[in-house]
Amino acid sequence: MRKKIAAGNWKMNMLVHEVDQYIHDMTNVNDNAEVIIGAPSIYLQRLLDLKPKGIKIAAQDVSIHDKGAYTGEISAAMLHAMGVDAAIIGHSERRLYHHETDELIGLKVQQCLSNRVIPIYCCGETLAQRQANDQEKVVEEQVLTALSALTAEQMTEVVIAYEPVWAIGTGVTASNDQAEEMHAFIRKCLEKQWNAEVAQSVRILYGGSVNPQNADGLFACPNVDGGLVGGASLKANDFMSIIISAAK
C-alpha cells in the first residue's frame, strides 16, 4: 500500500507572520496521509522551530554541488543537517525561468538521495506538447533522462510529481481520466526501466490546480498517490481539506 501524500508548494508566497498564522491554523493533521510543506528557504528554520505536528518540511530546490563557492545556493547536506525532510526538484517554473534541464535536475535528485533528503521530482508536458499528443513521449524522456542513473533501491526513495504545465496555476485541472492515464503510463515506464517492485512502490503525485473540490476525485484514481498543491496550499483550511482527501 502506497501512503498518499499531500504536499504543499508555497512557491514565493507568504510573509513571516502569515507563516506563523498558517501553522497555528493547521490543527488536526490527519496522519493517514503524509503531509509535506514546500516553503521558501528563508522559512525553513522557522517551520522547523514551529514543529508542526505530522508535517514534513521541504525546500523548493537544491544545489547540484556538495559545498563551496556557489553564492546563493543551498546544499542537500545543509538541508539534511537542519532536519529538512524533502526537496521539490525540477518544478516547471524552475525549468522555465531558470533553464533547468533534466540532466541538471537528475544531479539535484542524486544530491538529495546522497544526503537523505526525499526528492520530489517534477515532470509534465506543456500545452503545445499535449495538443500534439506528445505527453507520453515527453514525460518518459524527462523521467528517464533525469532518473535512469539511479539504482532500483534509490528509485524507491523518489517521489514523482506529474504536473502538466497547462494545469499549473491556471485553474484548468487534468481530468481524473487524464491524470490516471499519465500516472499509469509513468508506472509502466518505471517497470520497464527498473522493475515491478519499483513501479508499485514509487508514489506519483498529481499537480496542477488541485483544490478542495477536485482532490477527492483525483486522489481516488488508483495510480494517483496524492497531490503537489500550489495555490490551494496557501490557505490552511483549503490545504487541510486536501489532506483529508489524501487520507481517505
Q: Rounded to an integer, what distance in angstroms lies between the CA atom of residue 130 and that of residue 126?
A: 6
Name the active-site residue from 34, 93, 163, 180. 163
Beta-sheet strands, E only, within 98-215: 118-123, 159-162, 203-207
Q: Rounded to an integer, what distance in angstroms lies between the CA atom of residue 229 and that of residue 77?
A: 26
Nearest distance from C-beta of residue 186 to ligand PGA, angstroms? 16
Residue 20 cell numbers, joined: 506563523
- Which one of the spans 73-81, 97-105, 129-137, 228-236 is the region binding ligand PGA (CB under 6 A)? 228-236
Of 90, 119, 124, 207, which one interacts with ligand PGA (CB under 6 A)?
207
Fill in the per-residue mask, 131 to 170: x = in contact with ligand PGA (CB under 6 A), - = not in contact.
--------------------------------x----xx-
Burial status of residue 50 (CB atoms within 10 A of its CB: 0-12, 13-18, 19 or more)? middle
Name the active-site residue from 34, 91, 93, 100. 91
Q: Rounded to an integer, what distance in angstroms lies between the CA atom of residue 247 and that of residue 52?
A: 18
Residues in the interface with ligand PGA (CB under 6 A) total 13
Residue 228 in contact with ligand PGA, rule: CB under 6 A: yes
**Whose CB is nearest to ligand PGA?**
230
Q: What are phi and psi of 31, to 5 degrees?
A: -85, 10
Judge whether 34 counts as a catalytic residue. Answer: no
Q: Which residues bind ligand PGA (CB under 6 A)?
A: 9, 163, 168-169, 207-210, 228-232
